[in-house]
Amino acid sequence: MRKLTYYVACSVDGFIGDATGDGTAMLACLDEEFLDFLRTEYPETVPTHSRRALGFDDLENRRFDTIVQGRASYDLALKEGIPSPYAHLRQYVASRTLAVSPSPDVEIVADGLVDKVRELKAEDGGLGIYLCGGSRVAGELYDEIDELVIKTYPVVYGTGMPMFAAGSDLTRFGLAGTRTFGNGAVVRTYARQR
Ligand SMILES: NC(=O)c1ccc[n+]([C@@H]2O[C@H](COP(=O)([O-])OP(=O)(O)OC[C@H]3O[C@@H](n4cnc5c(N)ncnc54)[C@H](OP(=O)(O)O)[C@@H]3O)[C@@H](O)[C@H]2O)c1
């Protein structure tokens, strides 16, 4: 089985962005040490155009070969004129309103999102599935999440967009790894205990 990993940037108080979902304030934490971590451990989680700008668009995918995101998250790239933001991954966007995909690289999932993710997880071989967010899609897929990689940046929003929009049952995850950075960021990996 391939794993579904919710790999997400969070504030210390557990928000993935401000009340509108905007996480720009956290970008200030992407210093050289943190970028080096992304480059060596998670290069495929950086959008294709940013990889190019950072000079590592030739790096192989290490953990993921597929991305799932919600339409609101995908919209951020679309508004920048980038219809295929993760060209180095298989891309799925959950949407009931996008009738036609803006890119041949992006498959729209209108119905049966959970079934689609189960189908992807059941594929033989390959790398894992990167659940990008946002909050609503993560809530919809909560039961399917096998792993959490939470990049906690040293900022506090006070109020904001939670990791999961939908209610969910209390679930135990076991700590599988921690990495701390000089700027106060902490990346924790948790495996779901089934
Ligand atoms: N901190 C981070 O690491 C991080 C990562 C990703 C995103 N974000 C932030 O998250 C924000 C967006 O989050 P969000 O919760 O508002 O939206 P979202 O989860 O990105 O997208 C929600 C949309 O996905 C579609 N959708 C949801 N469930 C579906 C289902 N079961 N079947 C089919 N389509 C489904 C719907 O699109 P339609 O309306 O088209 O039907 C829905 O409006 C952005 O502001 C972004 O900055 C933060």
C-alpha 69 to ligand 1 mean position (Å): 7
The CA 165 to ligand 1 mean position distance, Å, reads 10
Q: Ligand 1: residues whose CB is within 6 Å?
A: 8-9, 16-17, 21-23, 69-73, 76, 94-98, 109-110, 113, 132-137, 140, 161, 165
Q: Output the CA torsion sign for 14, 19, 24, 25.
A: negative
Domain ranges, ordered by start, for the chain:
4-31+63-169
List all residues 6 or more positions away from 185 whose beta carbon is below 8 Å from its beta carbon.
29, 34, 151, 152, 153, 154
pLDDT value, residue 178: 98
Please give the pLDDT value at position 168: 76
**Mean pLDDT for each 10-residue chunk of the chain (194 residues)?**
97 97 94 97 98 96 98 98 98 97 98 98 96 97 97 97 90 97 98 94
Superfamily of the domain at 4-31+63-169:
Dihydrofolate Reductase, subunit A (3.40.430.10)
Atom of ligand 1 nearest to the CA of 133: 6
Q: How far apart are CA 163 and CA 166, in angstroms?
A: 9
Q: State phi, psi for 6 to the nearest 5 degrees.
A: -90, 105
Residues 6+ apart with CB under 8 A from 82: 47, 49
